[in-house]
Amino acid sequence: MPFLENIEYDHLLEEFKSVLRKNSLKFTKQRETILKTLYNFPGHFLPEEFYNLIKKNEPNSNIGIATIYRTLNLLEESEIVTALSFGKNGKKYELANKPHHDHIICKNCGLILEFEDKSIEKRQKEIAQQNGFELTNHIMQLYGICPKCKRKKIGI
């Protein structure tokens, strides 16, 4: 559904531009490229993975790795992007504007899948209430071995 996607992207872009304006920062080709890449490639990426994605998909952009780091930090501070890291790997980034979801992480290769489960969320709310807490948010990560690594029979 390209129509909806464009609306979403435009919205994201506006949000980013608004952050930039508020802080007297400039909207550059590089920053746009990074935002577009975040949008076009849903998933969790290391800074270096973004760098390679961009070099491959926008060969003319000649973007530097330092700009990737600087822009991801900016986006993280602006809460447009979320950073997370598990196990052996470094910090990975993903767009933060998605509807809420949790993660399943492969302890062997670092693969991250997303899921959402209403019944768990309902139960969480109940548990919080039983303890007198007002629930604001949560973190849930399931760790295991992904199908690929199970097949490869690689120990941890």
Partner DNA sequence: CTTCGTGCAAAAACTTTGCAAATTG
Partner DNA sequence: CAATTTGCAAAGTTTTTGCACGAAG
Residues contributing to the site for DNA (CB under 7 A): 20, 24-31, 46-48, 61-67, 69-71, 73, 90-91
Amino acid at 76: E
Q: Which does 143 bind (CB under 5 to 8 A by kind): DNA, a copy of itself, none?
A: a copy of itself
**Residue from 40, 106, 109 nearest 50 by CA:** 40
Closest contact distance (angstroms) between CB of 97 and DNA is: 20
Closest contact distance (angstroms) between CB of 75 and a copy of itself is: 13
* Total residue length of the chain: 156
- Quick check: 52 binds a copy of itself (CB under 8 A)? no
- Quick check: 154 binds a copy of itself (CB under 8 A)? no
Give yes or no for a contact between 15 and 80, defined as CB atoms under 8 angstroms apart: yes
Closest contact distance (angstroms) between CB of 104 and a copy of itself is: 6
Residue 28: CB partners within 8 Å, gap ≥ 6? none
Q: Is the dihedral of CA 53, 58, 61, 62 positive or negative?
A: positive
Query: CA 27 to CA 19: how far, in whole Å?
Result: 10
Comparison of 29 and 98: residue with beta carbon closer to a copy of itself: 98
* Binding residues vs a copy of itself (CB under 8 A): 77, 79, 83-88, 91, 104, 106-107, 113, 115, 117, 119-120, 123-124, 127-128, 131-147, 150, 156
